[in-house]
A and B are shown apart, each in its own frame.
Chain A
Amino acid sequence: MNGNLSRFLASVLKDTRIIARDRQALILFFVMPVLFVLILSLALRDAFGDRPGATFPVLVIAQAGDRVGDSVEASFRTNPHIQLTRMSRATEAEVRAWLVQGRYKFAVLIPDDATGQAQRRVGEIMAQVPPELRIERQVAVRVLVDPALRSDYRKVLEGVLDLALHEVEMRLAREQLEQTLRITQGKDYAPLPDMEQTRLLAPLPAEPVTKGAVGPTPTSVQQNAPAWTLLAMFFLTVPLSVSFIKERDQGSLFRLQTMTVPAWVVLGGKAVPFFVINLIQMASILAVSVHVLPWLGGDPLELGDAPLALLVTGASASLAAIGFGIAVAMYARTTEQAASFSSATVMIMAALGGILVPKTVMPPLMQDLALLSPLSWGLDAFQDVFVRGGGVRDVAPEVLGLLAFSAVCHGIAILRYQGRL
């Protein structure tokens, strides 16, 4: 066996022994990430995918039997995100008080005789009464909202209401038209076709677009499992960099530098056990997400059809994390410096890269900045496989980015170790 290869294997064995004898670290490496994935995937289960997720208490005040009120109620009830309460009577002051107390987020106040008023107005319109001579005004449907309701949710609720009002307007107009035709056509009158048959434009349910054939709808676990796998991998930079500083403090690194041991043997010997730990972390998180999470009531993780793409993504993310850890170790002077710098930097990269907060809820500027984080590249690659049905070719850009990052970090570390930086 080649001399340096023998040294390399001895180095790998030495670091494997050191890591295996640190029980606390092993618990930290394997149990904590799995727990995080379980807890967060369950906690955020309803915030992703097709589940109802967040629901909004909505109040509709309308006379019993009023057709406008019935139509609005029917529209709101079809939306699983709306938790509807209908009352026939309440004063505006009472409704305002309930909003302030937080009992409702959105309230619709439909005046009494709204349907009658609307019917009379449509009669005037059909009779071509000039606007300035019309007696009936538009029915004033008032909406009161809790200011804490997010603006995007408010717009969704306003849209649902507007659609319901349009629908009831169409029905009332059609009834008025039928009545006019019945009078004017007499016995020749033929009923109009059903309203559904008269639709001109038909919106279909949204269809997820994937790179492969058909991919599953993203779920909480498909965000959290890869996100926390990546965070766990990158958090290994802390013990990795600390172990280097410890060796330096203990003098063993000094002793190695006085020998004929190449830098790649020392650095690579330490990298290999951490690489294996990273892959075991990934396998355990994915296994728990596939097999244990559904048992606890969560959505199962759909792994997609490209295990090789997953392996390549995990391996390249691990190499990037290890490179970063080694580079930090080469510049940090104390274990405290190494631990605090690497953990803070990883948290920033995680926050930026969509690990802590999904990129989809970030504003455009932050989504652009996310591209700076290697964790974002890793997450995109995992999502390519899990959600968009991608394979090795689809993850290649992100994987190449991670490998380039790893190469730069390792290069810096080797030059620094050799005293050339």
Chain B
Amino acid sequence: MGIACAPSALGTAAGADLPAIEVRNITKRFRDDVPPALDDLSIVVPQGVIYGILGPNGAGKTTLLSILCGLLKPTAGTVRLAGHETLSPEVKRMLGVVPQEPAIYPTLTGRENLEYFGRMQGLRGSRLAERIEACLQIAEIGDQADRRVEHYSGGYKRRLNLVIGLIHEPRILILDEPTVAIDPHSRSLIHQRLRELHAAGVTILLTTHYMEEAEQLCHQVAIMSRGRVAVEGDVHALLARHRDDSIQISLDRDPPSNLAQALQGLPSVGDVNLSGRCLTATAPHPLEATLALLQTLGEHGVGVESLDYGHASLERIFLIYTGEDARP
């Protein structure tokens, strides 16, 4: 089942060169006595890409999404959607939002949910009926359309949650953790639908904890840490950049407290991160750096269980830049 999208202002010549989403120097401070949730953060999401926001819990992902959806106002900085700084009704209509938890009415049927949110998006009559049928097909829940949602499986709820965000054919789709805690079939279906949406020209911004998902789906990612963008860029470029640079060593015991400082002082080693018994580092010349690392480990009485270098993954990049495990 392919996904067709209606042309919109975003796709017209006037707006063709504008980024779909442009966040400039955003700061969001909830209280003066705690660090800001977002700290001078900037990202640019070009039109027609799938853009992943990655980051540990508390990194500020939800705050960023709330600002993009117009639910929160930034303390400083600007947000532009398709070149518009103000979230006017026309701009809001370009936006589809898929919250993390299924935002649906459990005692209504799937069809009634779609009908209600469709009407709220301004659809009526035959157009609404067409879109409801299309969404039921996209989600592959047509056989369950007239059952109450409370009787749906978790995967079916997620699929309905997704297509409610598509009912009005948005040009920008924002998804918060769209595949958390669902069965592999539903996850695969959602991935497939997102690729189809991308092929139809929809710009997709999603947050996820699944690094493999981001690697498979996203063209660009931003890894956030403590309200800032730690690293941003094209996924392939990031992987390529870190492919030859990365070294990963599993230690055979807990490291002594002075080890990290000793490792960071090595001239042949770039970024070093020591998390538990997991040591990750980058280096322009991995072989030379590996020898230096092993020597320093030996001097501190720490042995090696396994060693790997030159194999890049978003998981490892995430670890390097945030110092935390990707999964909560």
Contacts and interface: CB of A to CB of B under 8 A. Distances in A.
Interface of A: 1, 3, 6-7, 10-11, 13-14, 17-18, 21-22, 247, 250-252, 254-261
24 contacts: A3-B122, A6-B119, A7-B119, A7-B120, A10-B115, A11-B116, A13-B116, A14-B108, A17-B107, A21-B148, A247-B105, A250-B101, A251-B100, A251-B101, A252-B103, A252-B105, A254-B71, A255-B103, A255-B164, A256-B120, A257-B69, A258-B92, A260-B89, A260-B122
A17 B92 contact: no
A266 to B, nearest CB: 9
B103 A250 contact: yes
Nearest to B161: A251
B240 to A, nearest CB: 36
B239 interface: no
Contacts of A247: 105
Interface string B90-102: 0011010101111
A1 to B, nearest CB: 8
Interface size class on chain B is 20 to 34
Chain A interface, >50% SS class:
helix
Interface in B224-238: none
Contacts of A256: 120
A1 B101 CA distance: 33
Nearest to A4: B122
State the 6 A-B residue pairs at the shortest beta-carbon distance, nearest first. A251-B103, A10-B119, A260-B89, A255-B103, A258-B69, A251-B99
Given A251-B99, A252-B103, A17 B112 contact: yes
B117 interface: yes
B186 interface: no
Nearest to B108: A17
Nearest to A21: B107
Contacts of A14: 105, 108, 112, 116
B107 A10 contact: no
Contacts of A257: 69-71
B71 A258 contact: yes
Contacts of B71: 254, 257-258
Contacts of A255: 97, 99, 103, 117, 164
Given A17-B112, A250-B105, A254-B103, A261 B69 contact: no
Contacts of A13: 116
B124 interface: yes
Contacts of B148: 21
B121 interface: yes
Given A17-B108, A254-B103, A261 B70 contact: no
A260 B92 contact: yes
Contacts of A7: 119-120, 122
Nearest to A265: B120
Given A250-B101, A250-B103, A258-B92, A10 B116 contact: yes
A22 B108 CA distance: 11
Contacts of B164: 255
Contacts of A260: 89, 92-93, 121-122
A10 B120 CA distance: 8
Interface in B195-251: none
A13 B69 CA distance: 26
A18 B107 contact: yes
Given A254-B71, A254-B99, A259 B105 contact: no
B93 A258 contact: no
B106 interface: yes
Given A6-B124, A10-B119, A258 B97 contact: yes
Best-surrounded residue of A251, A256, A259 (most CB of chain B within 10 A): A259
Contacts of A258: 69-71, 92, 95, 97
A259 B120 contact: yes
B41 interface: no
A235 to B, nearest CB: 21
B104 interface: yes
Contacts of B107: 17-18, 21-22
Contacts of B106: 250
B263 to A, nearest CB: 45
Contacts of A1: 124
A3 B90 CA distance: 14
Contacts of B116: 10-11, 13-14
Contacts of B97: 255, 258
B177 to A, nearest CB: 12
Contacts of B112: 14, 17
A252 B124 contact: no
Given A1-B124, A252-B103, 17 more contacts: A6-B119, A7-B119, A10-B120, A14-B116, A17-B107, A18-B105, A18-B107, A250-B104, A251-B99, A254-B103, A255-B117, A255-B164, A257-B71, A258-B92, A258-B95, A259-B92, A260-B92
Interface string B66-100: 00011100000000000000000100110101011
Q: Which of the listed residues A3, A7, A257, A258 has the most CB atoms from chain B within 10 Å of its own CB?
A: A258
Interface in B118-166: 119-122, 124, 148, 164
Contact of B108 (A18, A251, A254, A261): A18
A206 to B, nearest CB: 56
A21 B105 CA distance: 12
A251 B112 CA distance: 17
Contact of B121 (A18, A21, A259): A259
Contacts of A261: 120
Contacts of A18: 105, 107-108
B103 to A, nearest CB: 3
Nearest to B88: A260
Contact of A251 (B95, B102, B119, B121): B102
Nearest to A255: B103
Contacts of B103: 250-252, 254-255
A251 B99 CA distance: 7
A252 B104 contact: yes
Contacts of B101: 250-251
